[in-house]
Amino acid sequence: MDKNTLVIFTSDNGPHREGGGDPDFFKSYGPLRGIKRDVYEGGIRTPMITWMPGKVQAGTKNNHIIAFWDIMPTLSELTKTKLPVQTDGISILPTIFSKKGQKQHDYLYWEFHEDGGRQAIRQGGWKAIRQHIASGNPPSSSIT
């Protein structure tokens, strides 16, 4: 079974404060800024580890940028099934299996409605962020 099973370890987006959680105690966001539902990297970036003997090369690392909505197209390609709906996701099997031909996202977009609303769009090495978009105050923006 282990030769025919892809195991993916990943995490939810960023540490949180809900339920008395204290992301500052262990510095759960590491060197990144932000927590869950922030549009900064500490709120949206997560690690991912894959394992499949004979398919995933041990010790391989890469910085390919994906989004969680890429998982469904990836599993669809892996199982040779058709997606039931059109998605914004792209299969990341070429990256997981260290193959050529990996498609790239033109951009990635996030939107959260808590605390007055936040939006971010990332294209290449740039990310534009809008904060407080629904709070009645003028939105603040930054580009990082």
Same domain? 71 vs 31: yes
Mean pLDDT of 52-77: 93
- Decide if pLDDT at 26 tops 90: no
- For the record, the structure tokens of 57 come out as 């090369």
Q: What residue numbers bound the domain in which 95 lies?
A: 2-102
The three-class DSSP label of residue 123 is strand
Q: How many residues does this entry show for the chain?
A: 144
CA angle (112, 75, 107) in 5-degree steps = 40
What is the band of 135 on the pLDDT scale with cuts at 50, 70, 90? low
- For 70-114, the pLDDT digits (tens) are 999 999 999 999 999 999 999 999 999 999 999 999 999 999 998
pTM: 0.83
Number of structural domains (the chain) is 2
- Decide if pLDDT at 119 tops 90: yes
Same domain? 23 vs 59: yes
- How many angstroms separate the CA atoms of 41 and 28, rounded? 12
